[in-house]
Amino acid sequence: MLERYVKKILAARVYDVARTTPLQTLDVLSERLDTPVLAKREDLQPVFSFKLRGAYNKMAHLDAGERARGVITASAGNHAQGVALAAKTLGCRATIVMGRNTPSIKVNAVKRHGGHIVLHGDTYNDASAHAHRLAEEKGLTYVHPYDDPEVIAGQGTVGMEILNQHSGDLEAVYVPVGGGGLISGIAAYVKYLRPDVRIVGVEAEGSACLAAARAAGRRVRLPYETLDLFADGVSVAQIGRETFKICRRYVDEVITVSTDEICAAIKDLYDDMRSIAEPAGALSVAGLKKVVEARGPQGPSVAVVSGANVNFDRLRHISERAEVGEHREVVLGVTIPEKPGSFRRFCRTLGKRSVTEFNYRRADVFEAHVYVGAQVDTPADGRALIERLRGAGYAVEDMTLNETAKLHVRHMVGGRSGGDAPELLYRFEFPERPGALMGFLNGLGSRWDITLFHYRNHGAAWGRVLVGFRGQSKERRALEAFLKQIGYRYWEESGNAAYRLFLA
């Protein structure tokens, strides 16, 4: 298998449009980790992503008739841009099916490269099914984003360049994983020439389809309800059939990382390169850091920075989460007595550490709640701070990993439901497009009494809303049946500690 793919990689036609990207030493991160870290800068490609390589190689191998009829694909961004630019270079028509909630930066980029855009559905599955229907109806060639030998070979040229650019000791290559096209191509080439080099895949926690497949010994499909949407470039429910054949044999390890760890890696790359990677593009650095932190310094390692197509509006959210991902911030909900001097005493107990956020809310005549973010040096320092507060007699809830607290409640401290009737709290994700918020409200209708509503635009393809409904626990079943009719993903948060402390 490897020899066949190495021959394909060596013969791949990618350099008509793709660049040989630099292998750059990350000096700041290398010093901090005591591990030589090199970044393979695929964010510097003409479409700011490695995807151009595979798309062009596939299309360059089509015959004249196939090119004349045109190509089609489904993609939310990077692959779409690669197909559009490849088609423009090869002189054929490209139709790109994208979800209606695709961020404008990606839609506009595809248009600039001459791609014909069809907006359909809200998920990749919706767009993909429609693209396959159009391909059959119009005789178009479908260019798969990852599960195709020619696409895999095109992506494998990244591995070829890494070995050409770094001939010395090499511990590992860390590669972001979505459908597996990039890592299978790199693994095929590197393992054939340098079997001693470890290939490490890095996935977002909520879309770890390769880790799930390795654990099961077969390809599995992740449920849509749990699929991570933050690192949208790798938000894939099932690893490819062809890519898994390679990955199960030649990928040494798969690491999963959290949203906060991804955000911290984006900041690390900015500090070193003054370049902003997209969430999927920074996965490799997040995974490398996680390994070094757990096992100690490593030999020279390469992190493939796979792309930089990120909406500017998302940077606000990314910067908020970076410190937690670096384990330099803890987010706490602390209950203090409501009496003169207690607020000052609490601040003294915090000590002379930097406070990143501070929200105070009086609960009743006896106590008050404080939502506080505090900088720490290490995870152990964070745990020590919590123990010091508890030792001083304070009730402390650690909300550092609480999504509802970080996405919503931190912006809402001070609101109360009012009245005696209980409240049911739900967190939603809905496709972010013009009119979507109004559509969400219309979907809720007037049957339910809404007691709380928080929405904040994160510049992503999915909007996030926190909603409170007036209702008894016995009404939960009827409410959830109604919510399922709306069709959006949701999670009940009625028992969330952040809600109980600051909003209930």
Phi then psi for residue 466, to 5 deg, are -115, 125
- Residue 82, sorted as left (phi over 0), alpha (psi -120 to 50) or beta, turns out to be alpha
Tokens of 236: 């894939």
Let me know: does 261 contact 325? Beta carbons within 8 Å. Answer: yes
Provide the H-helix boundaries in 113-240.
124-138, 149-165, 181-193, 209-216
* Residue 377: per-residue pLDDT: 81
Token pair, residue 131, equals 């693209």
Q: How far apart are CA 347 and CA 111, in angstroms?
A: 54
Q: Determine phi and psi for 407, rounding to 5 degrees.
A: -80, -35
Active site residue 306: yes
CA-CA distance, 492 to 359, in Å (whole number)?
24
pLDDT at 375: 82
- What does the buried/exposed string (b/e) look like for 458-477 if buried means 16 or more CB atoms within 10 Å of the residue's CB? bbbbbbbbbbbbbbeeeeee
Give 140's DSSP letter: P
- Beta strands across the sheet bearing 489-492: 450-455, 462-470, 423-431, 489-492
In this model, does residue 196 exceed pLDDT 60?
yes
Residue 225 has pLDDT above 70, yes or no: yes
Task: Compute the distance between CA of residue 497 and CA of residue 400 in angstroms, rounded to an integer.
Answer: 12
pLDDT bin (cut points 50, 70, 90) of residue 134 is very high
pLDDT at 228: 80
Across 276-422, the runs of DSSP E, i.e. the strands, are: 301-305, 329-337, 355-362, 367-375, 395-398
CA atoms within 13 A on the CB side of 502: 26
pLDDT tens digits for 361-374?
666 767 878 888 88
Strand partners, 119: 98
Give CA–CA dist 146/160, Å, rounded.
18
Secondary structure tally for the chain: helices H, strands E: 20, 18
* Among 184, 290, 306, 406, the one annotated catalytic: 306
Highest CATH level, class, for 413-502: alpha beta
In three-state secondary structure terms, 410 is helix
Q: Label residue 173 by pLDDT band (50, 70, 90).
A: very high
- Percent of the chain at pLDDT above 70? 90
The pTM score is 0.77
Most confident among 55-59, 257-261, 314-318, 438-442 (mean pLDDT): 55-59
CB-based contacts of 447: which residues, under 8 Å, 6+ apart? 482
Architecture of domain 327-401: 2-Layer Sandwich (3.30)
Integer Cα distance of 292 and 277 in angstroms: 21
Distance between CA 60 and CA 67 in Å, rounded? 9
* In the predicted structure, residue 72 carries a pLDDT above the cut 90: yes
pLDDT, position 342: 73
CA atoms of 487 and 418, how far apart (whole Å): 29
Q: Do domains 2-46+157-321 and 51-142 have the same CATH topology?
A: yes
Q: Is 200 helix (H, G, I), strand (E, B) or coil?
A: strand
pLDDT higher than 60, residue 419: no
SS3 per residue for 437-457: HHHHHHHHCCCCCEEEEEECC
Average pLDDT over residues 473-486: 78
Catalytic pick among 40, 51, 58, 290: 51
Say what the pLDDT of residue 430 is. 78
Q: 98-112, 359-373, 404-418: which has the highest mean pLDDT?
A: 98-112
Query: Mean of the pLDDT values across residues 419-427?
Result: 75
- What is the pLDDT of the chain when averaged over all its residues? 88
Per the model's pLDDT, the better-predicted residue between 221 and 337 turns out to be 221
pLDDT of 226 above 90: no
Give the up-direction half-sphere exposure of residue 337: CA atoms within 13 A in the CB hemisphere: 8
Report the pLDDT value the prediction gives residue 325, as an integer from 0 to 100.
Answer: 63
Domain limits of the chain?
A: 2-46+157-321, 51-142, 327-401, 413-502
Scored b (16 or more CB within 10 A) or e, 226-254 reads ebbbbbbbbbbbbbbebbbebbbebbeeb
Residue 1, exposed/middle/buried by CB under 10 A (0-12, 13-18, 19+)? exposed
The CATH code for residues 2-46+157-321 is 3.40.50.1100
77, 342 in Cβ contact below 8 A?
no
Judged by DSSP in three states, 84 sits in: helix
Instruction: Please give the Cα distance from 241 to 504 (Å, whole number).
Output: 48
Q: Mean pLDDT check: name the lowest of 204-208, 248-252, 440-444.
A: 440-444
pLDDT tens by residue, 397-409: 998 888 888 878 7
Q: Which of 21-25, 317-321, 347-351 has the highest mean pLDDT?
A: 21-25
pLDDT band per the 50, 70, 90 thresholds, residue 343 = low
* DSSP calls for 30-57: HHHHTS-EEEEEGGGSTTSBTHHHHHHH
DSSP class of 328: -
Q: In this structure, what are the phi and psi dihedrals at residue 198, rounded to the nearest 5 degrees?
A: -80, 135
User: Which residue's structure tokens are 């979505």?
Assistant: 178
> Is residue 30's pLDDT more than 60?
yes
pLDDT at 123 over 80: no
pLDDT class of 127 with cuts at 50, 70, 90: confident
Please provide the DSSP assignment of 461-481 as one string. Answer: SEEEEEEEEE--GGGHHHHHH
Q: What's the CATH number of domain 51-142, 1.10.3720.10, 3.40.50.1100, 3.40.50.1450, 3.10.520.10?
A: 3.40.50.1100
Residues 6+ apart with CB under 8 A from 277: 43, 265, 266, 269, 285, 305, 307, 308, 310
